[in-house]
């Protein structure tokens, strides 16, 4: 799912292309995409784009008369900039937003249709889609700690809860925790003041690094290949590869369709966290340290 840095890159690419431009036509290839009935989608056509804004992991496009188009790409949705009035061919093409200079096309891979489009009137309606998470770049350490420690959850869950923090998901939470040298399963109520400071600094620095990097790329070309697995990431999507800090192999925890990547040496004091897909089978034989894991591999 596109997260804060990815959404920031999309907005960087969209602003010079569509702000000040009229939406000539909106074409839907999938009626399921549109999740609102009022105001009607046709009421946006012919109106000029005034602003593009991020709302959590959503992209909000403001047009005249305080109307908003709000896109949530979910896991497999992506945006593409194409030639004007490009034909919507293929099952993955869900919608096109036609402008004089080109068409913004929304695609979604796979058979499940989770991406959504809302048409809203006014700021109050727009705020109703905001889960309430704080903006990492505008908060201080005290407000950051208060948000994450409101309930006692693992750091992985707390970082990815949109009610607590805005725009962070599976990929960048892995990178943040590696930078902070903290375990994904540490409980928020167990953190020391020094660990809170490390987590806060790592969260801001990691997100800024990727926002700056992806925005710079989006200034030269539209971000056509948005992915959760990027070259230069420390641990996310790098299972079995060497940790860039210590050289030990990156490990993982798998649950349902999600995977958390981490370095045991850097983040858990050398303790291997139980992978639910395997530990249920291994039971008490599941290795608890890197040394035990290596010994198991060579049996």
pLDDT of residue 277: 54
Say how far apart CA 234 and CA 170 lie, in whole Å.
Answer: 14
pLDDT of residue 299: 41
Torsion sign (Cα): 36, 38, 39, 40: positive
| Beta strand ranges found along 40-88 (DSSP E) | 49-55, 58-63, 67-72, 77-82
DSSP string computed for 225-259 = ---S--TT-SSTT-TTSBPTTT-PBPEEEEETTEE
Give the chain's radius of gyration (CA, Å): 21
pTM value > 0.75: yes
Q: Which residues contact 256 (CB under 8 A, 6 or more apart)?
A: none
Q: Which residues contact 98 (CB under 8 A, 6 or more apart)?
A: 23, 24, 25, 26, 27, 84, 85
pLDDT tens digits, residue range 86-102?
999 889 999 999 999 99
Which ranges in the chain belong to alpha helices (H)? 4-18, 123-127, 141-148, 155-160, 170-180, 193-218, 264-267, 276-282, 290-297
Say how far apart CA 261 and CA 13 lie, in whole Å.
Answer: 30
Closest CA to 286 of 265, 271, 269: 271
The kind and range of the H/E element at 83 are none
Please say whether the beta carbons of 136 and 204 come within 8 A: yes
β-bridge pairing 93-99 and 77-82: unpaired
What stretches in the chain show pLDDT beneath 50? 278-279, 281-287, 293, 296-299
The kind and range of the H/E element at 121 are strand 116-121
Please say whether the beta carbons of 170 and 260 come within 8 A: yes
Assign residue 26 a region: left if phi > 0, alpha if psi is -120 to 50, beta otherwise? beta
Say how far apart CA 222 and CA 81 lie, in whole Å.
Answer: 7
Bond from prior residue into 39 cis (ω within 30 degrees of 0): yes
Q: What are the structural domains of the chain?
A: 4-127 (3.20.190.10), 136-297 (1.10.8.50)
Please say whether the beta carbons of 136 and 208 come within 8 A: no
Structure tokens at 277: 């897909």
β-bridge pairing 77-82 and 102-108: antiparallel
């Amino acid at each position: 799912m596109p997260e804060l840095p990815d959404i920031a890159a999309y907005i960087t690419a969209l602003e010079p292309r569509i702000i000040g431009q009229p939406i000539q036509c909106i074409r839907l290839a999938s009626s399921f995409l549109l999740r609102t009935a009022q105001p009607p989608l046709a009421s946006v056509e012919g109106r000029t784009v005034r602003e593009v804004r991020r709302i959590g992991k959503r992209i909000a496009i403001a047009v005249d008369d305080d109307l908003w188009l709000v896109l949530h790409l979910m896991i497999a949705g992506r945006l593409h900039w194409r030639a004007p009035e490009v034909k919507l061919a293929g099952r993955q093409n869900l919608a096109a937003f036609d402008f004089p200079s080109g068409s913004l096309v929304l695609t979604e891979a796979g058979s499940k249709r989770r991406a959504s489009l809302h048409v809203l009137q006014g700021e109050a309606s727009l705020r109703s889609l905001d889960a309430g998470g704080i903006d990492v770049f505008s908060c201080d350490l005290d407000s950051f700690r208060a948000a994450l420690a409101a309930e006692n959850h693992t750091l992985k869950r707390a970082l990815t809860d949109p009610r607590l923090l805005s725009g962070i998901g599976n990929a960048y939470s892995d990178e943040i925790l590696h930078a902070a040298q903290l375990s994904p399963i540490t409980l928020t109520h167990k953190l020391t003041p020094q660990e809170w400071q490390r987590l806060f600094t790592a969260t801001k620095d990691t997100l800024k690094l990727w926002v700056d990097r992806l925005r710079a790329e989006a200034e030269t070309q539209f971000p056509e290949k948005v992915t959760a697995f990027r070259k230069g990431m420390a641990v996310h999507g790098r299972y079995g590869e060497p940790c860039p800090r210590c050289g030990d192999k990156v490990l993982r925890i798998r649950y349902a369709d999600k995977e958390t990547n981490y370095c045991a040496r850097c983040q858990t004091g050398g303790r291997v966290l139980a992978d639910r897909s395997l530990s249920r089978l291994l039971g008490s034989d599941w290795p608890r340290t890197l040394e035990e894991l290596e010994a198991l591999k060579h049996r």
